[in-house]
């Protein structure tokens, strides 16, 4: 089922507070830390007064923070999605297990995956198996894994992309996706930091600036998936 309130409630904020969708039809979420349930159902915006609707929305927003057991740790936690960023071997394992899900997939004819700044020789160093489609390797690096035979999904923001038109994988995440979180001090996105770590790149300041400039340019002409 589809979670109808996904637009009104920021999925990342819910995840940071420990919530997970358990029943899409009833719009129910559950805190994994304390086990409390929360119903996020909102009235149909077209059939109630906007004031009523906004009050309901505000109540749900507040409950995301407060509707936990008194001692629940999820209430104040700020999770780190990238605790292992300096562990090269763990990172490699993670990238390889993402690629493993896609190893049977083939890019349809005419579909192009463009990702500036990822070099073929680096991809071969991380993923030596030459029988796997190189575009799948680019997708794995930028956070994507198999969803079904013709689409991929981000393991953190859960956006799905169908492989029916060309796109730039790193600019196709939801804007709040943790993979795009800037990493100090050079504002490099987290997926890129992982890539640099695995290929032992000593990123110089000028390289990084040109990467940032390139990704700025490509985000201005962001590809929209059809």
Q: Which residues bind Zn ion (CB under 5 A)?
A: 18, 31, 33-34, 68, 72, 74, 154, 156-157, 173, 177, 179
Q: Which is nearer to Zn ion, 204 or 224 (CB)?
A: 224
CB of 126 to Zn ion, least distance (A): 19
Q: Which is nearer to Zn ion, 120 or 175 (CB)?
A: 175
Q: Residue with structure tokens 């505000």?
A: 58
Q: State the DSSP H helix or E strand holding residue 19, giving kind and residue range, or none if neither.
A: strand 19-23
Q: Which is nearer to Zn ion, 163 or 177 (CB)?
A: 177
Spatial distance between the Cα atoms of 186 and 170, rounded to a whole number of angstroms: 17
3-state percent breakdown (helix, strand, coil) of the chain, nearest 5: 40, 15, 45
Cα-based distances in Å from 199 to 80, 121, 127, 154, 155: 22, 10, 11, 22, 22
Q: Which of 136, 130, 101 is nearest to 118 (CA)?
A: 136
Q: Which is nearer to Zn ion, 71 or 206 (CB)?
A: 71
Q: Which is nearer to Zn ion, 113 or 156 (CB)?
A: 156
Q: Which is nearer to Zn ion, 14 or 126 (CB)?
A: 14
Q: Which of 12, 3, 8, 32 is nearest to 20 (CA)?
A: 32
CB of 30 to Zn ion, least distance (A): 9
CB of 191 to Zn ion, least distance (A): 9
Hey, is 162 helix, strand or coil?
A: strand
Describe the strand order of the beta sheet including 160-162 as a list of residue ranges. Answer: 144-148, 151-154, 160-162
CB of 185 to Zn ion, least distance (A): 23
DSSP-assigned states of every residue in 70-88:
TT-GGGT----TTTTTT-H
CB of 67 to Zn ion, least distance (A): 8
CB of 180 to Zn ion, least distance (A): 7
């Amino acid at each position: 089922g589809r979670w109808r309130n996904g637009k009104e409630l920021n999925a990342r904020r819910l995840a940071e507070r420990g919530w997970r969708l358990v029943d899409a039809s009833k719009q129910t979420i559950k805190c994994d830390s304390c086990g409390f349930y929360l119903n996020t159902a909102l009235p149909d915006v077209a059939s109630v007064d906007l004031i009523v609707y906004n009050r309901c929305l505000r109540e749900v927003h507040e409950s995301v923070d407060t509707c936990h057991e008194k001692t629940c740790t999820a209430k104040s936690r700020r999770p780190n999605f990238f605790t292992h960023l300096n562990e090269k071997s763990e990172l490699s394992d993670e990238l390889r297990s993402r690629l493993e899900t896609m190893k049977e997939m083939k890019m349809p004819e005419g579909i192009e995956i463009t990702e500036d700044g990822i070099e073929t020789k680096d991809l071969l160093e991380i993923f030596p198996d030459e029988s796997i489609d190189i575009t799948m390797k680019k997708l794995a690096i930028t956070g994507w894994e198999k969803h079904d035979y013709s689409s991929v999904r981000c393991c953190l923001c859960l956006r799905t992309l169908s492989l029916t038109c060309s796109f730039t994988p790193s600019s196709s995440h939801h804007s709040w996706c943790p993979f795009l979180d800037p990493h100090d001090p050079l504002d490099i996105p987290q997926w890129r930091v992982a890539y640099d770590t695995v290929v032992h790149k000593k990123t110089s300041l000028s390289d990084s600036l040109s990467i940032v400039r390139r990704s700025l340019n490509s985000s201005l002409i962001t590809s929209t998936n059809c």
